[in-house]
Structure 1
Amino acid sequence: MSGIVVPVRRRLSNAVTLAYGFGSVAYGAKDAAFGTFLLIYYNQVLGLNSFRVGLVIMAALVLDAFIDPMVGVLSDRTRSRWGRRHPWMYASALPIAIGWLLLWNPPAGSEAFRLGWLFVTAVIVRSAVSCFEVPSQALTPELTTDYDERTRVTAYRYLFGWAGGLSIVLLAYGVLLTARPDYPNGLFNPNGYHNLAIASAVLMVAAILVSALGTHGEIRRLPQVESRQQSIGAVLRELFQTINNRGFLVLILAGVCAYTNQGISYALANYFYAYAWQLGPGALKLLPLTLFVGAGAAFVVAPRLGRNTSKPRAACAFIVAGTLFHMLPYVMRFAHVLPPPGDVRVMVLYPIFALSTALNVSSFILGASMMADVVEESQARTGRRNEGVFFAGSFFVQKCTSGLGIAVAGTILALAGLQDKIDPATAPAGKIDNLILMFILIYLALAMSAAFMFTRFPFGRAEHEARLSGLAAAEREGAPHITD
């Protein structure tokens, strides 16, 4: 690529912001079902060993390390009348739906066969999701260069992402996985998961198409970056030069820790609800609404705090505070200050769940906004805009949520002695305590590592504004100009 291009600094219209944000409903629905229900479905419903299930999903994650950067590079280099990003967004809808339905409907067979099915379909789903989410996220720095507007737009993406995910969780707990005469514990009903797959596939396709169509009119305003034919070696050298960026590497390391924690929490959530808290059907129905209150609070708080203080400092503070509140219910359990499991009064924990969600989601919003700011820092050094590459790395880290997180969760379950089918009513208390203790130790280590990494982020608002001024001056001297 050649030529220095700076997108317009502007506030997006409400219609474009809503359409762009709505696209993350697809990833939210996929992530909630994949992260919250896939392990318990293949383990407790289909009867596969939790450690092996986690290992297979981890193996699929290894392929993501190659797929996501390739999607980012190819997206950056795509040239069409629909721009660089939209052809990928439109093309991803059908493969996502097909792969998703196959994932949740494995044919009868041996454990080895079903593990192989899980691996292949997980790769299909994750690759198809990359083809939408990487180009979609790469639009954030292209739509506007405004430091605060990027945080606002990112907050909408997280709000819709959580809305999509929690709508699937609410549908599962409230309708599809409720208690029935043949399944007193609805979480073990296979038909419920099949119906959940259909509902989430429809939702994902709708979100993708609405977002792509709703932002289609912005294509003419996006950077039209020049390109030239290059050898594979030259492309790889450019890729290495791009990712050899301190800000990018700091965010990737922080993200690996933070999103892996989220993945472990998602994968173990149903085990905690069933074994540690023994939540009844009514409590489970209210849980998604409680978590959405937390996500909604983050939507309001994160952009405001980002305007009034340093994004890296605020993200660090959110992680530390969010971790303390996330751990509090388990500490209270060990201190014997909670009602017994199964008692409706356990719902006293719900405000704590909402507050920890608000704090942790706020840190993710600010982290994603900082990734958008890295684009211009890299452009100033290399003369290239590689939004796709940066957000491919960011998205790969996010998918650690449902890959590495599930693998770690499966290992924790195995070490705690809960790797096979076991009735929550007869599960030994010692095994549940071991599960919680291992979770606490791993979560604390990863969270504090993420918080520390945010303190190492190399620039803030002042540096970003100075960099934009320099790029704009260089653009006026002869580089292509994008007008609004």
Structure 2
Amino acid sequence: MNNAEHKTATKDKIPLLEKLFYGVGSGSYQLSGDGVKSLANPIYNITLGLSPSLIGLVLMISRIFDAFTDPLIGRWSDNARSRWGRRRPFIFVGSFLAAAGFVMIWMVPASWAGQTQPLFIYYLCTMLLFYFCATIQVVPYHTLGLEMTADYDERTSISGYKMVFSFAFSLLLPWVFRLAQSEAFSGDTMAGMRYLSYILAGVIIVGGILPAIFVKERYYKVAQGQAKTPFWLSARQTFANREFLVLTGVILVSSFGPSMVGSLAPYIIYYHMYGGDTKAGAEMAAIGANVFSVAAILFTPLIVRLSSKWGKVKVMQATVWLGAFNSVMTLVLFTPERPWLVLVYFFLQAPTAGFWVVTTSMKADICDDDELRHGTRREGMFGSVGGWIAKVGLSLTYLLSGVILDVTGFNVELKGAQSPDTLWEMRMLFAAVPLVTALLSLYFLKKYTLDRKRMAEIRAQLEARRAAI
């Protein structure tokens, strides 16, 4: 069947309200998960004076810990049997726990500023607590999305709603550091951060519980009748799936470069473009991030449409090529002479969010491929093991990001008097590293084989074996 001729059958379409409620859940974990990463350096380095290398070490340790808890929660939810389903009880409870863990990170006493040991210990302990709580919400939430429909294109549509709400909620995050510095808090940035964290926690809770209440688990009846799979057998079968390994490799390689140097962006804006004026820099960074989020929301329906017309792999290739081009363009667009050009960078970066729209849909396809091979639905293990591989692999980038900042010679005490060599090294690394990893991910993408034709064959065989979903 030609891609352009495909139409989703009425029985496979998910009601609009259910898609919206599922999408809201992504905003919840986006606020908490991206919040602890994006606010790490502004609060713990710029405000409290903790070394970037130590911040990177905390992020690395906590993400490794998070990676090892993912498969445990994934397998637990795969094997759960309750009157409310396999996933929804975890999402509901986890939303409250994640919100509480998020608030605790910013309760560090401001009087500890400049004191390395207590800052490091408090930051590490609260980050470990946060990631454990967030895992209870996030792994079953992602898994629930993989179970909502059996249709090849409707899966991408659901992923699109998820991405739209992720970006919508992300509009709040870039302003947090700027608002925390406002006169309303009498110049006490930590007091501002603590106050704002309560507001964000409320949004995390509300966004988190809506999918737990209103989204159906369509594969629950299938799962109820299957035997509970031992953890190590389930893990071994997951790692044996070739398409899963290829896709995970693409995600890991594509993410490695931006994750390693992404934290340099605000520093380049603050210190290269604005000469150390963190208020003005934070304001421009916030505007840029909002341009990205709004543009990504607008581009998402186009990405979903193109995925249906071109196929998922071609759309992914296009987004990776655009990201590589935009990385090189940062050498031109991040300039103190015309600071507004940075907004062009953020706008051009928006379509690359389509990468995540498509990969989420592809994970659901892989779960069908696995059911055909082994006769069980194991979305939880695929979601969590994929997360485990990515988080263990990317945890090194959190340490490297801090080390890179130190190696460039950045010194927070110098404020706007940073060395020109330091600023140039930041800019070169920010441009070059994502370019290299983008080219590697394009190589791996050529090995992925679950296209529309193959997925139609798999679905036909599954529905001949068991009832249609």
Decide: shared fold, TM above 0.5.
yes
Superposition deviation, residue 220 in structure 1: 6.6
Q: Which residue of 1 aligns with 2:290?
A: 289
Q: What's the counterpart of residue 157 of structure 1?
A: 162
Contact 1:39 1:53 in 2 (8 A): yes
Out of 442, 454, 463, which is 1:451 matched to?
442
Q: Which residue of 2 aligns with 1:239?
A: 235
Q: What is residue 308 of structure 2 aligned with on the other side?
A: 307
Partner of 1:414 in structure 2?
Answer: 406
Q: Closer, same or farther in 2 for the Cα pair 1:57/1:280, shift >3 Å?
A: closer
Whether 2:274 is the aligned partner of 1:273: answer no
Structure 2 unmatched runs, 5+? 1-9, 275-279
Match among 50, 59, 62 for residue 61 of structure 2? 59
Distance 1:262 1:178, change over 3 A: farther
Could you tell me which residue of structure 1 aligns to residue 363 of structure 2? 371
CA RMSD of aligned residues (A): 2.5
Q: Does 1:140 align with 2:145?
A: yes
Retained in 1: the 8 A contact 2:235–2:385?
A: no
Q: Following superposition of structure 1 onto structure 2, how do residues 88-99 of structure 1 map, counting pairs within 5 Å?
A: 88-99=90-101
Would you say 1:472 and 2:460 are equivalent positions? Answer: no
Per-residue deviation, 1:401: 10
For the structure 1 residues 148 and 181, does the alpha-carbon distance in structure 2 shift closer, same or farther, using more than 3 Å as the test?
Answer: closer
Report deviation, 1:100: 1.1
How far is 1:250 from its partner?
Answer: 1.3
Contact 2:70–2:135 under 8 Å retained in 1? yes
Q: CA deviation at 1:453?
A: 1.9
Match of 1:461 among 452, 456, 462: 452
- The one of 20, 23, 26 equivalent to 1:24 is 26
Question: Which residue is 2:430 aligned to?
Answer: 439
Range moving further from structure 2, 134-143 or 400-409: 400-409
Deviation digits for residues 269-291 of structure 1, max 9, x if unmatched?
Answer: 32122012225565345323311
Q: Hey, what's the Cα distance between the residues in 2 that align with 1:392 and 1:276?
A: 39
Q: Deviations over 1:241-260 (max 9, x none)?
A: 12321111112111122233
The alpha carbon displacement at 1:353 in A equals 1.5
Determine which of 162, 167, 181 is the counterpart of 1:177.
Answer: 181
Task: Compare relative contact order (CA 8 Å, sep 6+) and give the higher one, 1 or 2.
Answer: 1
Given that residues 246 and 458 in structure 1 are in contact (C-alpha distance below 8 angstroms), is that contact kept between their aligned partners in structure 2? Answer: no
Return the alpha-carbon distance in structure 1 between the equivalents of residues 409 and 85 of structure 2. Answer: 52
1:425 to 1:395, Cα distance in 2 relative to 1, 3 A: same
Query: After superposition, what is the alpha-carbon deviation per residue over 1:37-56, rounded to whole angstroms, capped at 9, x for unaligned?
Result: 11232112111111122112
SS of the residue 1:143 aligns to? coil
Whether contact under 8 Å (1:29, 1:166) holds in the other structure is no
> Equivalent residue of 1:83, what SS?
coil
Residue 153 of structure 1 aligns with an amino acid whose one-letter code is I
SS of equivalent residue, structure 2 residue 39:
helix
State yes or no: 1:194 paired with 2:197: no
Aligned residues: 451
Q: Alignment partner of 2:433: what SS? A: helix
The answer for the alignment partner of 2:321 in structure 1 is 320
- 2 CA distance for matches of 1:298 and 1:52? 37
Structure 1 gaps of 5+ residues are 1-7, 476-480
Structure 1 range deviating more: 439-448 or 78-87: 439-448
Q: Is the 8 A contact 1:29 1:200 kept in 2?
A: yes
CA contact (8 A) 2:99 2:205 kept: yes
* Shift in alpha-carbon separation, 1:16–1:332, aligned structure 2, 3 A: closer
- Scaled by the length of structure 1, what TM-score is found? 0.86
Q: Kindly tell me: are residues 315 and 229 of structure 1, through their superposed partners in 2, closer, same or farther at Cα, counting changes over 3 Å?
A: closer
**Matched letter for residue 102 of structure 1:** M
Report the Cα distance in structure 2 between the residues aligned to 1:282 and 1:130, rounded to whole angstroms. Answer: 32
The one of 335, 339, 359 equivalent to 1:346 is 339
- Please, what TM-score do these two structures have when normalized by structure 2? 0.89
Residue range with higher mean Cα deviation, 163-172 or 129-138: 163-172
Give me the whole-angstrom Cα distance separating, in 1, the residues matched to 2:12 and 2:454. 19
SS state of the match for residue 69, structure 1? helix
Distance 1:405 1:9 in 2: 44
Write the distance in 2 (CA, Å) between the matches of 1:407 and 1:372. 32
CA positional deviation for 1:297: 3.1
Counterpart residue type for residue 180 of structure 2: L
Q: How far off is 1:459 after superposition?
A: 1.7
